[in-house]
Structure 1
Amino acid sequence: MKRILSSLAACLCLCGHAAAFDDPLARPARPSALAAHAPVNGLAMAGRRIVAVGQRGHILYSDDAGRNWRQASVPVSVDLTAVSFATPQEGWAVGHDGAILHSADGGETWLLQADGRNGGSGKVDDRPLLDIRMADKLRGMAVGAFGLARCTGDGGRQWLACEDRLDNPQGLHLNAIRAIGDNLYIAGEQGLLLRSAGGAGRFSALALPYRGSLFGVVGDGPRLLAFGLRGNAWFSADSGATWEQSTTGLRSGLAAGLALPNGFVLVSQTGQLLFSESGRQFAPQPAPQPEPVTAALLGATGEMVTGGVRGVRVHVLQRR
């Protein structure tokens, strides 16, 4: 009898815990005085405003080049990975559990548009989204783990599965999506680099002589720079038709990159900065208090903005 009662008590306890599950997709992000110093995974410019997204649903925005930050109102507390603004007002953010958020006021308030329970696949799909790119207020694409891809043509009222547009039969992770010149590129694991001419059709794989993970791709028209694990970077002068390995001098992963009017910048996962005018030979740059970096962008007045484990940093790139 005691065993039966013990079993019933254990069952009630377990059922009580299950009923008390705190769904991060239903729990708003908690306001925090320390949010500006918490990990940042993605950055975007909303006009002249910097918007940063990170862990536990935190979204921050700054109107004074990163000197002061305000926390946005966000309806979820899942980790957010990337953000993209089509206009200074219209923005989208993505993250874990397939979450896609939308803001119509420059990043101050957000609404949940889609998640892994209603992402257009007809079944629960909790794969994380890792990056998003909006072409305009209506058309956009989000990509993520295990080949996950979602597309919209109506401003996010519907986010439909669009993996069938990608030359990715192995379902490799898709880490970044970027518009460069007239093309759209997706960088992934095992050297996967996809290109869509005009960004509206099918994505075909480029023949990159590298089989490690790529974390991103940047460029300025036909010049491309793809970067990833263990200091690997590859340069193309012809939109990916041919490639040559860039010299970086690093063994740590390259987490972010920028294409500037006068060259390229790479940032390592340990916070080291590299610069190259050609994209072929990189030289280290001064980096006060190097720390792990996950994202970078060019600010409204030419400053370099990086996001990482301790929040957002703003500094001027000084070439040696």
Structure 2
Amino acid sequence: MNILKWALLFALMAALSAPFCRPVVAEGFIDVLDTPAQQSPLAQHSLLVGLASAGDRLVAVGQRGHILTSDDAGESWQQARVPVSSDLVAVHFPTARHGWAVGHDGVVLHSGDGGANWERQLDGRQIGPTLLAHYEALARSAPDDEALAALVDEAKRMTEEGADKPFLDVWFENERVGYIVGAFNLLFRTEDGGRSWTPWMERTDNPSALNLYAIRPADGELYIAGEQGLLLRLDRATGRFESRPAAYDGSFFGILGKPGVALVFGLRGNVFRSVDGGASWNPVETGLPVSITTGTALADGRLALLSQAGHLLLSRDDGASFQLQPQPALAPVAAAQAAQAAGPGQLVLVGVRGARPLRVP
């Protein structure tokens, strides 16, 4: 994987993508990890990739460390203070005040004031050494475990390569317990609100170290979706993310659910649905040949999916079927969120043109 997450989602954005390698150090070079995000009046119109609710507030994240908040359902935005200028791709708030954002260069940020101010908790310069210390300790206790030995080698490689590995999604159960996922099977868990992070890469059924694109709960279960049809579900008894095949070998970009139903969606309009806790998955016809990049539940119970081309699909039967909605052409959509305080049909979208509201009939 050598391009940005959003370039994977939007083929037409290839010109905006950048390699997962560190810039060549030259005279006068300043690391993005040491450079605060610049304040810009154009930030809300620039590329935004992640979106979340923090109570009634909306928080969007995007390129060059831009984070914006809106208290009026996406009509206006204020730029937050951010200590890095790395590209950010995902954000989640388990409460109205506490939230986390992740992105390139192994960045993990935390806000304790609803997204107005952010602090760094982890970055790519720490990931390799953290992995190496963790897996060397485990390997010493199980010297014949070949899987752990391979993880030690992988940790050494990541340490040598430096801060170039991206996190691609974040989800917190509450203010203390959370997970971050990323490229090459990167998976970390925290139990202290991000003050420390424990590698969980040995706890996935992912022997090929496929990229992990999304982690979200659906119908009472916690899932990870990734490339080449990878779909994992957390077995809370064993503490492992176990494979739940969905009979598809293309990438999944997201997870959506409500009580009694779970959906995964991804490349070429593919959507799969489970009503038995992830034991089995059935395809859902969308009629779209383009990738589904994001989804959200509306306040009235309808489920919405949006495509890389801006198509809007709505379901009134808990995801058993979707109908394409007639509307003016939209720009590619990276993330969507229901603005519950603004009414049952109000969505806010982010993507290549920044943030904008959308009223759904």
Give the gaps of 5 or more residues in structure 1: 1-15
How far apart are residue 288 of structure 1 and its match?
3.3
Q: Distance in 2 between matches of 1:259 and 1:300?
A: 10
Superposed, 1:104-253 pairs within 5 Å as 104-119=112-127, 120-122=130-132, 123=159, 124-198=162-236, 201-253=239-291
Q: Distance in 2 between matches of 1:295 and 1:198?
A: 29
Distance 1:262 1:110, change over 3 A: closer
> What does residue 311 of structure 1 align with?
354
Structure having the larger proportion of residues in strand: 1
> What does residue 274 of structure 1 align with?
313
How far apart are residue 199 of structure 1 and its match?
9.4
How far apart are residue 198 of structure 1 and its match?
4.8
> What does residue 12 of structure 1 align with?
none
Identity %: 49
> What does residue 107 of structure 2 align with?
99
258-267 or 182-191: which moved more?
A: 258-267
> What SS class does the counterpart of residue 121 from structure 1 fall into?
helix
199-208 or 168-177: which moved more?
A: 199-208
**Superimposed CA distance per residue, residues 264-284 of structure 1 (whole angstroms, 9 cap, x where no aligned partner):** 211001110011223233211
Distance 1:249 1:155, change over 3 A: same
95-104 or 253-262: which moved more?
A: 253-262
Q: Distance in 2 between matches of 1:86 and 1:281?
A: 29
Question: Which among 46, 51, 54 is matched to residue 43 of structure 1?
Answer: 51
Question: Which among 327, 330, 333 is matched to residue 290 of structure 1?
Answer: 330
> What does residue 13 of structure 1 align with?
none
Question: Is the contact between residue 235 and residue 242 of structure 2 (CA under 8 Å) also seen in structure 1?
Answer: no
19-28 or 191-200: which moved more?
A: 191-200
Question: Is the contact between residue 223 and residue 237 of structure 1 (CA under 8 Å) also seen in structure 2?
Answer: yes
Question: Which among 53, 75, 86 is matched to residue 83 of structure 2?
Answer: 75
CA RMSD of aligned residues (A): 1.7
Structure having the larger proportion of residues in helix: 2
170-179 or 220-229: which moved more?
A: 220-229
Q: Distance in 2 between matches of 1:35 and 1:295?
A: 16
Question: Is the contact between residue 168 and residue 213 of structure 2 (CA under 8 Å) also seen in structure 1?
Answer: yes
- The residue type paired with residue 97 of structure 1 is D
Question: Is the contact between residue 170 and residue 181 of structure 2 (CA under 8 Å) also seen in structure 1?
Answer: yes
How far apart are residue 125 of structure 1 and its match?
4.7
Question: Is the contact between residue 219 and residue 262 of structure 2 (CA under 8 Å) also seen in structure 1?
Answer: no
> What SS class does the counterpart of residue 180 from structure 2 fall into?
strand
Q: After TM superposition, what 4+ stretches of structure 1 lie above 3 angstroms from structure 2?
A: 197-200, 259-263, 286-289
- The residue type paired with residue 277 of structure 1 is R
- The residue type paired with residue 269 of structure 1 is Q
Distance 1:299 1:200, change over 3 A: farther
304-313 or 16-25: which moved more?
A: 16-25
Question: Is the contact between residue 246 and residue 282 of structure 2 (CA under 8 Å) also seen in structure 1?
Answer: no
Specify the structure having the higher radius of gyration (Cα): 1
Distance 1:181 1:17, change over 3 A: closer
How far apart are residue 181 of structure 1 and its match?
3.0
Distance 1:57 1:310, change over 3 A: same
Q: Normalising to structure 2: TM-score of the pair?
A: 0.80
How far apart are residue 21 of structure 1 and its match?
1.9
> What SS class does the counterpart of residue 202 from structure 2 fall into?
helix
Q: Normalising to structure 1: TM-score of the pair?
A: 0.90
Q: Distance in 2 between matches of 1:41 and 1:224?
A: 23
> What does residue 66 of structure 1 align with?
74
